[in-house]
Structure formats: C-alpha cells, structure tokens
Amino acid sequence: MPYIACDDGVSLHYRFDGPETAPVLVMSNSLGTDLGMWEPQMPALTGAFRVLRYDTRGHGLSGLSPAPYGVDRLGRDVLALMDELKIGQAAFCGLSMGGMTGMWLGVHAPSRFSHLVLCNTAARIGTPEVWNTRIATVRQGGMGAIVQGVIQRWFTEGFVPAEPQAVEKISAMLLATALEGYCGACEAVRDMDQRQDIAAIRNPVLVIAGTHDLATPAADGHLVADAIPGARYVELPAAHLSNIECRDAFTAALTGFLGA
C-alpha cells in the first residue's frame, strides 16, 4: 500500500485513481471516516481526473499523530503529500474536517490549488465544551459510544432506512477509527477558528452545504461563502454527508465547478 512519511514521522496512506496524465484532484475525508467515503464520486471523477485520496492522520490506514496538533498540521500534511508525489498544483475537495483543511490551504498555500471545494464545513464549529464532552465520551466508552448519535446527525431520518448499506459503510468507518486518532482530530477541530482568515482566499471556491445538516448547518456554509470573495454556494437537500445522501447532485456540482 502507498504511504508517505510526514516531517514528524507520521505515515499517510493514499490512493491514486484515474489517468496518469489527467489533472490531479485531492480529496480529504471527514472526521471519523477514511478515503472510502468518496466512493460514490469515483466513477464520474476518474474519467477526467487523477484522483488523489488519502486518510487524514489518525484515520483509516494512516498513522497516529503526536498530540496536540491543529488544522495547520492537517494542511501541511496535504502539502507534504503533494511534494512527495511531485504535484505542483491540484484541485482540492474536502468535506467537514477536510473542508477546514481546504480553508487553511487556500489561506496559506493558494498557488498550489487551482480550485477549492469546501463541503459541509465551517470556519468554526461548536464550542470547546461540546468537543470536550465528545472526547470524554469516546475515551470512556470507545468509538461505539458515539456511532448512533453521529449517524443521526450525518444522515436524514428517511435516508437511514432507505440506504442501509451506505449507512453501514460509514458506521464501520467510525468504529474502525483509532480512538486516539479521533480524539486528536476532535481537538484540532475544537481549537480551529478561521473566520477572519478565509477572507484572504482568492482561489475559485465552491461551498456545498446541506439543508438538513446538524453538524455544520447551512448557515455556516453561507458564512464561509460570503466571507470568500467570488465564492459560489450550492445547497443540497441532505444532512452532513451530502456526497453520499445526494450523491448525483453533489457529483454534478463538483464536476461542473471543476469544468469536467
């Protein structure tokens, strides 16, 4: 399996799909999932892009990270991955935590990215108390203690019985996430506040939000789009994982924005 080593020794697992000569699209997963969350988009994307997916540190097959770290560490991981693979510039798509990473990249490494797609995300999420409670719950009861509540926030009530296999795949990703990896990422999200910084982004940006998203409400997506000059905004009738719940509309918005 392909890995790169970051400057702090953490290994990042990644995967390439699509023609080697196609432009690169980097895709960044949400908190508690892995690169498999993007499977619904892959058939449409791999005809036009060389898709680079990776497991955020502490997730999937990537290594655990020394704590604490912040969203800047997650952004530097993407740059390290691109540097190791000799990718000068790419498009970027991230959901939730992945979208937060994308904001940091747009502020701190804009020349490396042709487009940024920020999905079901926010420049600041929740309060420290909310995240500290989540971390304490996981440390006491393991990942199984939060799965049901997370699924209720991530999908609408009607989607869960209608698409049980899709929901089960995400549940399995949550359960497979290393406890320390999840808690470390929760701390990074807890401490993130990019509300002032993102006004500096000048890349072409698409913000995708979900009407029924309880984790990062559509209002948060509006705030991100309004703060970034020229950003486009698309709202889908989905909860948090809009790329799964509204897979076709999500993919159409993504490929349309990227010109595929």
Task: For 131-146, write each residue's pLDDT tens digit.
Answer: 999 999 999 999 999 9
> What is the reported pLDDT for 192?
97
Distance CA 58, CA 170 (A): 16
> What is the reported pLDDT for 77?
98
pTM assigned to the model = 0.98
Note every long-range contact of 217-222, with CB atoms under 8 Å and residues 24 or more positions apart, other chains counting.
Answer: 220/121, 220/122, 220/123, 220/125, 221/120, 221/121, 221/122
Distance CA 110, CA 94 (A): 15
Treating both helix axes as pointing N-terminal to C-terminal, what angle do 147-154 and 164-176 enclose, rounded to 10 degrees? 130
Amino acid at 75: G
What integer best gives the mean pLDDT of the chain? Answer: 97
Assign a CATH topology to domain 3-258: Rossmann fold (3.40.50)
Task: For 118-134, write each residue's pLDDT tens digit.
Answer: 999 999 999 999 999 99
Task: For 187-202, write each residue's pLDDT tens digit.
Answer: 999 999 999 999 999 9
